[in-house]
Structure 1
Amino acid sequence: MNSLDWAVLIGYFGVMIAIGVWSHKRVGDVSDFFTAGGKMPWWLSGISHHMSGYSAVMFTGYAGIAYQYGVTSYVTWSFPIAVGIAIGAKLFAPRLNRLRSRLHVASPLEYLKNRYNIPTQQALAWSGVLLKIVDVGAKWAAIATLLSVFTGVSLNQGILITGVVTGVYCTVGGLWADALTELGQFVIQFLAGIAMLVAVMVELGGFSSLWTVWDDLPASHTEPTTGPFTVTFLLAYLFIKTFEYNGGMWNQAQRYMATSSAHEATRSARLSAALWFFWPLVLFFPMWVAPLLVKAEKPDASDSYALMSEQLLPHGLLGLVIVGFFSHTMAMCSSDANAIAAVFTRDIAPVISVKARSWSMRAGLLAARLSTVSFLALSMAIATQVNSPTFKDIITVVIKWVAGLMGPIAIPFMLGMLRPLRRSGPTAALVSWAAGLFAFWLTNYGLDGVELQIQIVSPLAISLVLYVLIGFIKPEATPERDAVLARINSDDDDSGAAAAVPVPAPAGDAVAPGATKD
């Protein structure tokens, strides 16, 4: 990098902070901070949903997969995500929106107190928070790895720089700042992606290289499934991502909650699905042909995209591509920080602190911002350990830990919104959650030689089967729980203007902010 590249990078950081400061004016209460007050346009929500779904791991871990195995990186990653989001556009997106518009909650998990009980809500909240700290730590490590390739700064310095900048804008501006910066990041990413695609095509002989280079690459590069990424892996990934990217990891759920109505949430999901279908093809082509242009130095080829950028792009454009790297990770990490802060302040704090149940608007907003800062600090600390023997490497954390542990948390949360599963109550939720976590430990650390696809799909599959089965064996439907489901599933008056009907909490349970108790 030279002074021009640094100017582009510093200018990007400055614009992100400026957007956060501007967004600060739109945040008047906790609802604005966590769900944009239900006023976010569907197209902004859709772009934000897309951008918050992947990070710089795309340019490290998945770039290495594309370098070694070819088009399977798209077929077994972004394609199943697109299909999963398209499925959820009608199944989950409108119901998530009704959590806010009908029940007036500000956190995705806030309704679980009434749908199940407080112990279930707390189990899902605490386990999800801990998982997300590890997940975002991997994202910080990925972007710091890229920064070190270009600038020579240490891993810890890179983590600190990106974490501080992200912390400033997402803490002061909440979800509005996240969404608006993600819009800006999408524009930058588009320009950087096109610049890289053009540079690669020019180097390989022009536009015709899109179809002429494949004979020069290994034959397996055109196989849709190859190596460890088998058809079974593809189906497992589709199964997992349908839950994860429709709200199972909470930050995407907030995008649907932030739109004005259930119909707008559906439109938002369809836009995100379309972007996942088409845009990764532009990003992946340079990675697929990278073996013809550079020789990766790392065994997993995770440095291939960075090396190719250095070799092909002039200064200025190189800085733009680096900014594109940052845009991915900062979008995901800031959205995760906002989601975790929502869960902590709305779901966890009111249970562990009596004072939190009667926070004023100002105190609640201050707690939201402090929670955001705390989460970012913890995830940055984890990032410095992501290459330790416990975590092994970045891509292991992202594929194995997150995909494997997400399911037991997502199943009770997401399936709990569906009326056909009204019989599944607290017992089904807690048993399925605990069994899924045990399955993750068993397949990853208790048994030797378990295939990757079994490791990542078994926790979700076991949680799903037990959740449904226990609901039939031990039905726990009650009038109060049915009332919650009726509000979430009814499509009457989905204009967003429907008044919320107070939902009674289970007798004796503490009531979190935003709920009422008879």
Structure 2
Amino acid sequence: MQAVDYIVVVIYLLGMLVISTLFSKRMKNANDMFSAGGQSPWWISGLSAFMTMFSAGTFVVWGGIAYQYGLVAIAINCCYGIAALLVGRYIAGQWKEAGVNSASEFLQLRFGSSIVQFYTWFKGLLTIFTTGGSIYALSKIVSALIPLSHGHWLADPATGHLSVAIMSTVLCIVVVLIAFSGGLWAVLMTDVLQFIVLTVSVLLVVPLILGELSSIDSFVNQMPEGYFSLTTLDFPVWFLVGWLVLNFVTLGGDWAFIQRYLCVPDSKSAKKSAYLIGVMYIVSPIIWMIPPLAFRAIEPNIDAEQAYILACQYVLPAGLMGLMMAAMLSATASMATTRLNVFAGAFTEIYCRYKNYCVNHATQIWVGRLATVVLGAILLLGALLIPQYGYTKFILDINTLLYVPLVLPTLWGLFSKRIGLLAVWLTMIFGFIASFILKFGLSQQGFLSSFEIFTPYIEWISLNTRTADVFVGVLFPFITLLIIEKLSNKEHEGWQRFISHKESVHLQDGKKVAMTYIDTLPLTLSATTMFIIAIGLVISAFYRTDIVVILILFALVLSVMSIYVLRYVDRQKKQTFVLSSVQ
């Protein structure tokens, strides 16, 4: 990267911090800090959830799979989209109808305090720790682009580039500051702006990298057999089915996504948020997997995990490479800030409930901020330790083996009258045991490998590792809950507590007067961001005359969109003023 690229990245980071402080004034209580007061527009919630699923790990893991295996990477990611559409149809609206402000409040009502404690401590710390892996992935990418002089105090002696550990520390500090300053409103709004930066960056790379190919026919002929298949030996169709089910459970029951369905005004908005995630994740993989796919024909023998960023570096001019790095920063910051906010809220609820100390709103906010800082330290710890295990392997193992046993009971309890606390514990215990046996018992060097009776299973698992991981991680928790559901013959007391709370909340909501105020700040910031990027593209056009048409075209489109959005904002302000005057 050149000096102008570093300037772009620094401006971006400062901009995110400034925006987070703009929303700090909206934090009047814990509900504002962790649920945006239930007033987030559906499109902001949806884009924020979409960005929560994105990270630099998306570029490292899925970009690497696209480079190595081909179109199967698109198929895997489209499973997210199908899962989100199903969640929109069946789950998202139910969460908003539940009448709770957070997933932990629902668990308290439905299953009691012990499971809230366990989920908050175990799942919260595990989630934050694993998010550190995304910080590491981004740090690895950035560091690879910053060579330093021999003996420089910021350099890694082994590579001569910026130290990954130092870069991880800097990124963790930025993420904590965003979540600390503005709460969920800051997280939501920075997510939207990050989506704009990411989309522009990826869309710009696509025509440039395709222009480097001699011809489509030549590209097709260069690729190995099976490169254009939607399944491979490592990722067969049963893996895709299991991956879809796994992500349906995650999108429907993970706390970060539940928060997105709760921070909107009504159940219809919650559904629309999930539908937006689905549409984005069906369309976007087709576009943003093109760079690593095409780069395979240009540079066939590189580290697959670095394929995406090297493809960008190959075609982007100075300044725009900085924009791409800002996009990757955006994706990772979105995931990390969201999870910090969710679990800082959960720990705040626990502290206030059991210590009875949060006597006013200011105390709640500061407890939440302290929790954010502590969790930020866990985030950094994950960024430093996960590389020792192997980032890609760690992410796949955690997602396929541990998430469903943790998440599925929450989702099941939203609909089932029969399951109780025992069902939750049994699901987690059996799920963890099954995963442990699979990983450490039925592997080729596992503790069960010496028994001949297990030999056929071990051989099959060794040939179908990822499929086995997904099905054990999904099937065992599901079967456990299904058996308990069938054996139970009475309604659990927690269900009645939940229903009573739900009815009381709906009764109070029915007495509220509808608000006429329309928040135009998010749209104004979005339009401003698009216009600033357009200016940057025009400036870049003066230095890269070979791609001037593409740069000017992108700048023109962004400028028109910015003007249209600002005019819409102006009309909304006038409409709001008229309605307020009438009332």
Superposition TM-score tier, normalisation by shorter sequence: 0.7 to 0.9
Q: Match of 1:162?
A: 171
Q: Structure 1 length normalisation: TM-score? A: 0.88
Distance 1:344 1:460, change over 3 A: farther
Distance 1:460 1:498, change over 3 A: farther
Kindly provide the CA deviation profile for residues 40-86 of structure 1, in whole angstroms up to 9, marking residues without a partner as x.
Answer: 0011111111111121011112111111100000102x111111110
CA distance in 1, matches of 2:493, 2:338: 35
1:113 deviation in Å? 1.7
Asked whether the 8 Å contact 1:140–1:329 carries over to 2, the reply is yes
Residue 471 of structure 1 is aligned with which of 456, 480, 485? 485
CA distance in 2, matches of 1:439, 1:379: 28
Would you say 1:183 and 2:192 are equivalent positions?
A: yes
Q: Match of 2:376?
A: 376
Kindly provide the CA deviation profile for residues 287-311 of structure 1, in whole angstroms up to 9, marking residues without a partner as x.
Answer: 112211224433xx10111222222
CA distance in 1, matches of 2:50, 2:511: 30
Q: Structure 2 length normalisation: TM-score? A: 0.78
CA distance in 1, matches of 2:126, 2:138: 19
Asked whether the 8 Å contact 1:133–1:379 carries over to 2, the reply is yes
Residue 283 of structure 2 is aligned with which of 278, 283, 300? 278
Flag the structure with higher helix content.
Answer: 2
Would you say 1:332 and 2:335 are equivalent positions?
A: yes
Would you say 1:497 and 2:509 are equivalent positions?
A: yes
1:397 deviation in Å? 1.7
Residue 238 of structure 1 is aligned with which of 244, 253, 256? 244
Would you say 1:90 and 2:84 are equivalent positions?
A: no
CA distance in 2, matches of 1:178, 1:428: 34
Kindly provide the CA deviation profile for residues 108-127 of structure 1, in whole angstroms up to 9, marking residues without a partner as x.
Answer: 12111221122222222222
CA distance in 2, matches of 1:266, 1:215: 44
Percent identity at matched positions?
23
Q: Match of 1:401?
A: 398
1:350 deviation in Å? 4.7
CA distance in 1, matches of 2:109, 2:509: 22
Distance 1:463 1:51, change over 3 A: same
CA distance in 2, matches of 1:214, 1:175: 46
Q: Match of 2:257?
A: 252
Map 1:437-448 → 2, pairs under 5 A = 437-448=432-443
Q: Match of 1:218?
A: 224
Unaligned 5+ runs, structure 1: 501-518
Asked whether the 8 Å contact 2:176–2:373 carries over to 1, the reply is yes
CA distance in 1, matches of 2:96, 2:377: 30
Asked whether the 8 Å contact 1:408–1:459 carries over to 2, the reply is yes
Distance 1:10 1:171, change over 3 A: same
Q: Match of 2:121?
A: 126
Q: Match of 2:498?
A: 484
Distance 1:212 1:88, change over 3 A: farther
Q: Match of 1:516?
A: none
**Runs ≥4 in structure 1, deviation > 3 angstroms?**
485-488, 496-500
Map 1:61-460 → 2, pairs under 5 A = 61-76=61-76, 78-99=77-98, 102-103=99-100, 105=101, 107-151=102-146, 152-205=161-214, 209=216, 213-248=219-254, 250-298=255-303, 301-346=304-349, 348-350=350-352, 353-356=354-357, 358-388=358-388, 392-418=389-415, 421-449=416-444, 450=461, 451-460=465-474
Distance 1:382 1:171, change over 3 A: same
Larger Rg: 2
Asked whether the 8 Å contact 1:84–1:242 carries over to 2, the reply is yes
CA distance in 1, matches of 2:471, 2:103: 24
CA distance in 1, matches of 2:443, 2:511: 54
Asked whether the 8 Å contact 2:352–2:364 carries over to 1, the reply is no
Letter of the 2:46 counterpart: G
Unaligned 5+ runs, structure 2: 147-160, 445-460, 513-583
Asked whether the 8 Å contact 2:253–2:408 carries over to 1, the reply is no
Q: Match of 2:527?
A: none
Distance 1:296 1:15, change over 3 A: farther
CA distance in 2, matches of 1:294, 1:10: 30
CA distance in 1, matches of 2:347, 2:83: 28
Kindly provide the CA deviation profile for residues 217-273 of structure 1, in whole angstroms up to 9, marking residues without a partner as x.
Answer: 22311110013111111111011000112232x111111110000011001111111
Asked whether the 8 Å contact 2:128–2:340 carries over to 1, the reply is no
Asked whether the 8 Å contact 2:341–2:372 carries over to 1, the reply is yes
CA distance in 2, matches of 1:98, 1:335: 22
RMSD value, Cα: 2.2
Distance 1:226 1:282, change over 3 A: same
Q: Match of 2:16?
A: 16
Asked whether the 8 Å contact 1:221–1:288 carries over to 2, the reply is no
Letter of the 1:31 counterpart: N
CA distance in 2, matches of 1:446, 1:260: 48
Q: Match of 1:48?
A: 48
CA distance in 2, matches of 1:498, 1:341: 31
Letter of the 2:90 counterpart: L
1:90 deviation in Å? 2.5
Q: In the comparison of the two structures, how many residue pairs are matched?
A: 479
Helix, strand or coil for the counterpart of 2:15? helix
1:320 deviation in Å? 0.9
1:216 deviation in Å? 2.7
Asked whether the 8 Å contact 1:109–1:413 carries over to 2, the reply is no
- Greater relative contact order (Cα < 8 A, sep 6+): 1
Asked whether the 8 Å contact 1:69–1:227 carries over to 2, the reply is no
CA distance in 2, matches of 1:51, 1:480: 34
Distance 1:296 1:334, change over 3 A: farther
